[in-house]
Structures are given as structure tokens and as C-alpha cells.
């Protein structure tokens, strides 16, 4: 699943990276709308005034995947993991409840995000495994949230994608891109209870 558009962020570091170890999941802290990915990408680019001193590689909503920074370059998304991570911004908020992460919008968005993350993991040979702060400090490769990076390296206080982000379901959606295995709603509920 290639990105639907490329809206270049104003702030990033040109790097020509040969290795990427992490996929870092964020929430945009923006409403779940049909143009949220494009709107946040335009914000990173400075289309609405001064661009923030931040960026991500991809912005995802239920309709679009918008790339903002080349994977070879360093986006400014999670201090401590910028140099070796790819940042994925999801529409919504870190404060979302389990029910809000399970609504139709989030379900479609997570499926779309799982597609791009599966491609990233395949491209960079990143294991589809969530990493804790301790594992990040130990240099282990995989997926994490901005909150895990904040805890591991103490360079920010961000807590996204939030305590109710459905990690088990999201990891399964990514893995299913490789295996073709599909779970029904009851099986997803059981995963979330683990």
C-alpha cells in the first residue's frame, strides 16, 4: 500500500539512512475526520503559517496515508528514537477510550495503518513486536508508542498513542498482512483482554 500523497514536511534531517530499527506510533491529537491526514501533513509543511519544529514520516486517517518525510531521512517525531525510527501519526487522540478505538472510523484507520506498517516492517526487516521502554534502551528492534520512547529516553513527556491503544489488535492486523489470517470480532475482543 503506497502512500496516497506526499506532502513534504518543512522540518526533518536529510540522512540517507541504511538502517531503521523502530516504527513509532503516535496520535495526531486531531479529530477523526476524512481529511485529517492531509490537514496534519499540510501543517507539518507550513501551509497554515509557520511549520512546527516537528514532522512524521506518515499521517494516516480512515481514508488516506500521506507521506511527509522520506523513510531514508529522519523525521522529528520522537526524541531518542528519531535517528532509527519511522514515525506514524494516526488521526485521533491519546485520551481515546477502548470503545473509541473500536468504532468504525478507528477500525478502518487501523487497517489502513497496518498496511503501511507491514510494508515498512518488510522493507526494513523490522520484527512485528511491541517493544517496552526497557527493550528500547537495550536497542531491540520493533514497534512502540511515543509514550514508550518518552519513558525510555526521557526526552519528551508525550504519552500517545495512549493507554487504551489496541496494541494486540493492531499487531495482529499487521501480521495478517503477511499470513492472510483474519480474526472475527469475538477473537479481537479476546486479544484485547490479554
Q: Domains for the chain: give ranges and CATH numbers.
A: 5-193 (3.40.80.10)
How would residue 183 be classed by pLDDT, with cut points 50, 70 and 90? very low
Taking the C-alpha atoms of 23, 25, 30 and 35 in order, what is their torsion angle to the nearest 10 degrees? 40
How would residue 165 be classed by pLDDT, with cut points 50, 70 and 90? very high
Q: How many helices (H) and strands (E) in the chain?
A: 7, 8
> Cis omega (within 30 of 0) on the bond before 3?
no
Percent of the chain with pLDDT over 70: 90
In the predicted model, what is the mean pLDDT of residues 121-131?
96
> Residue 184: is its pLDDT beyond 60?
no
Which residues are bridge partners to 90 per DSSP?
Answer: 27, 60
> Residue 130: is its pLDDT beyond 90?
yes
pLDDT for the residue 51 = 84
Amino acid at each position: 500500500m503506497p502512500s496516497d500523497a506526499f506532502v513534504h514536511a518543512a522540518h526533518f534531517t536529510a540522512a540517507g539512512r541504511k538502517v531503521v530499527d523502530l516504527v513509532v506510533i503516535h496520535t495526531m491529537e486531531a479529530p477523526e475526520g476524512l481529511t485529517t491526514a492531509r490537514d496534519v501533513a499540510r501543517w507539518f509543511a507550513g501551509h497554515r503559517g509557520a511549520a512546527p519544529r516537528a514532522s512524521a514520516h506518515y499521517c494516516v486517517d480512515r481514508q488516506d496515508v500521506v507521506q511527509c518525510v522520506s523513510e531514508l531521512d529522519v523525521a522529528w517525531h520522537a526524541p531518542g528514537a528519531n535517528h532509527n525510527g519511522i514515525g506514524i501519526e494516526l488521526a485521533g487522540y491519546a485520551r481515546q477510550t477502548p470503545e473509541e478505538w473500536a468504532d468504525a472510523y478507528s477500525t478502518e484507520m487501523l487497517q489502513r495503518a497496518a498496511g503501511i506498517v507491514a510494508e515498512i516492517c518488510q522493507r526494513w526487516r523490522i520484527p512485528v513486536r511491541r517493544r517496552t521502554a526497557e527493550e528500547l534502551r537495550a536497542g531491540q528492534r520493533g514497534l512502540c508508542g511515543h509514550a514508550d520512547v518518552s519513558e525510555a529516553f526521557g526526552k519528551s513527556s508525550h504519552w500517545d498513542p495512549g493507554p487504551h491503544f489496541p496494541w494486540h489488535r493492531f499487531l495482529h492486523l499487521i501480521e495478517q498482512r503477511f499470513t492472510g489470517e483474519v480474526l472475527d470480532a469475538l477473537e479481537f475482543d479476546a486479544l484485547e483482554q490479554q
